[in-house]
Chain A
């Protein structure tokens, strides 16, 4: 193998995995032979190793030559990079929030609010949030590296929404119809967590007590509460769907404002119904005496639970009512403006 062949083969090794690798090598060899012949003729020298070295030096290092044939010098190209950042922010926010909320819930339900176990669970929660964030970062990046290489250039161009971008979206001071992405993402995360707990981990809605020999679980709610779960699910799923739709469209329309009013009204109605349903709280002096508390302490717990629940529900109702009024006001304001 002469110097030219070795050079060509070295370039080949550095070429990206393309179908045309052999073809590029063949063309490169042919070009180098042309250059050598031309140089020998024009200078009157004979073709020897010194001339080959001179020509190859001029042509550049094999790595540099190979890089000129690389159609994808980027891991993730500039066209899909903004989309990549957008998805990454959402995924990291969701993953970290879910992990932290889960750790918080576990710390509160599994331990008596203090002590080494509580700190340990919180520490583990932070650790798993960090490793979940790193894993999510890796996975999202990997998916985008694949998208960058698999999708044809025209398709990738589709992510570049510059053509659809409306300069009017920058107009004026904060547009009341523009959506806050951060708020929406946070809402999606927390609604999703609520859905997951309600449906997959209803056992977390209660208290665990560890006595010497056994583990006692006292649920917070009675069966009456769980009759509402399908309706709560419908409202929460509708909320998530609306949020995702808003996230994609980035602007409120009359239809989405109306949907928001309906969803807010439904959740307010549900909360009122739940509050008005008797015997919805499962804590009672009887159920608590099974726990590690003396009867007096159990009674204190029952009293706290009995009063806290309606207070919390009333606060929720007030917040929901304000949200509903705001939603109705914005819907009417929008209707007036567009008339």
Chain B
């Protein structure tokens, strides 16, 4: 079963690399953790909760996201949105991603 395990590990690594870009791209409008998780899943990217929530906090510490607590339906929710710094970073990341896709397409076609 070593092959299945290494396949899963490689897939995990591949996904991990794109989660930051995926999350930033979807946070131009504010979302709370669970709603972002669902949104990404609906778009086809299943992300582990144990990966996404700590990542959102790290991105906020790095200054690319901002967050605010809001009281909704008698429940407090923490909403995340891309910061000014994140807005500067996003196009650069998109360009980088396009480069990777184009290179890998050439390699794999």
Q: Which residues of A contact B (CB under 8 A)?
A: 20, 23-24, 26-28, 30-31, 33-35, 38, 59-60, 64-65, 68-69, 71
Instruction: Determine if B54 and A68 form an interchain contact, defined as CB atoms under 8 angstroms apart.
Output: yes
List the 9 shortest-distance A-B pairs measured between CB atoms, nearest first: A34-B34, A68-B50, A68-B54, A69-B54, A27-B78, A31-B34, A31-B33, A30-B77, A33-B75
Any A CB within 8 A of the CB of B15: no
Complex-state Cα separation, A26 to B75, whole angstroms: 10
Using Cβ atoms and an 8 Å threshold, which residues of chain B touch A23?
A: 78
Interface residues of B in 11-61 (CB under 8 A from A): 32-35, 38, 49-51, 53-54, 57-58
The one of B54, B57, B58, B78 in contact with A30, judged by C-beta atoms closer than 8 angstroms, is: B78
Instruction: Determine if B57 and A69 form an interchain contact, defined as CB atoms under 8 angstroms apart.
Output: yes
Question: What total of chain B residues lie within 8 Å of the partner, measured CB to CB?
Answer: 17
Interface string of B64-102 (1 = CB under 8 A from A): 000001000001111000000000000000000000000
Instruction: Determine if B33 and A27 form an interchain contact, defined as CB atoms under 8 angstroms apart.
Output: yes
Using Cβ atoms and an 8 Å threshold, which residues of chain A touch B33?
A: 27, 30-31, 34
Complex-state Cα separation, A38 to B73, whole angstroms: 14
Instruction: Determine if B76 and A30 form an interchain contact, defined as CB atoms under 8 angstroms apart.
Output: yes
Instruction: Determine if B57 and A34 form an interchain contact, defined as CB atoms under 8 angstroms apart.
Output: no
Complex-state Cα separation, A38 to B35, whole angstroms: 10
Complex-state Cα separation, A64 to B50, whole angstroms: 8
Instruction: Determine if A31 and B53 form an interchain contact, defined as CB atoms under 8 angstroms apart.
Output: yes
- Decide: A38 near B34, CB < 8 A? Known: A30-B75, A30-B78: yes
- Decide: A65 near B50, CB < 8 A? Known: A24-B57, A27-B78: yes
Using Cβ atoms and an 8 Å threshold, which residues of chain A touch B51?
A: 68
Q: Can you give 13 contacting A-B residue pairs, CB < 8 Å? A: A24-B57, A26-B78, A30-B32, A30-B33, A30-B77, A31-B34, A33-B75, A34-B77, A68-B53, A68-B54, A69-B54, A69-B57, A71-B58
Pick from A24, A59, A68 the residue with the most CB of B within 10 Å. A68
Using Cβ atoms and an 8 Å threshold, which residues of chain A touch B77?
A: 30, 34
Nearest residue (CB) in B for A71 is B58
Instruction: Determine if A60 and B75 form an interchain contact, defined as CB atoms under 8 angstroms apart.
Output: no
Instruction: Determine if B50 and A26 form an interchain contact, defined as CB atoms under 8 angstroms apart.
Output: no
Closest beta carbon of chain A to B63's beta carbon, Å:
13
Closest beta carbon of chain B to A5's beta carbon, Å:
14
Instruction: Determine if A26 and B76 form an interchain contact, defined as CB atoms under 8 angstroms apart.
Output: yes
Using Cβ atoms and an 8 Å threshold, which residues of chain B touch A69?
A: 54, 57
Complex-state Cα separation, A180 to B60, whole angstroms: 46
- Decide: A34 near B50, CB < 8 A? Known: A26-B76, A27-B78: no
- Decide: A34 near B58, CB < 8 A? Known: A27-B53, A68-B50: no
Complex-state Cα separation, A69 to B77, whole angstroms: 19
Instruction: Determine if B50 and A31 form an interchain contact, defined as CB atoms under 8 angstroms apart.
Output: no
Complex-state Cα separation, A309 to B77, whole angstroms: 85
Using Cβ atoms and an 8 Å threshold, which residues of chain A touch B38?
A: 38
Using Cβ atoms and an 8 Å threshold, which residues of chain A touch B78?
A: 23, 26-27, 30
Instruction: Determine if B32 and A59 form an interchain contact, defined as CB atoms under 8 angstroms apart.
Output: no
Closest beta carbon of chain B to A23's beta carbon, Å:
8
Complex-state Cα separation, A316 to B34, whole angstroms: 77
Closest beta carbon of chain B to A316's beta carbon, Å:
61
Using Cβ atoms and an 8 Å threshold, which residues of chain B touch A68?
A: 50-51, 53-54
Complex-state Cα separation, A26 to B33, whole angstroms: 12
Q: A26-B69, A31-B33, A71-B58 are in contact. List 11 more A-B contacts (CB 8 A).
A: A27-B33, A27-B78, A28-B53, A31-B34, A34-B35, A38-B34, A60-B50, A64-B50, A68-B51, A68-B54, A69-B57
Nearest residue (CB) in A for B76 is A30
Instruction: Determine if B34 and A35 form an interchain contact, defined as CB atoms under 8 angstroms apart.
Output: yes
Closest beta carbon of chain B to A85's beta carbon, Å:
27
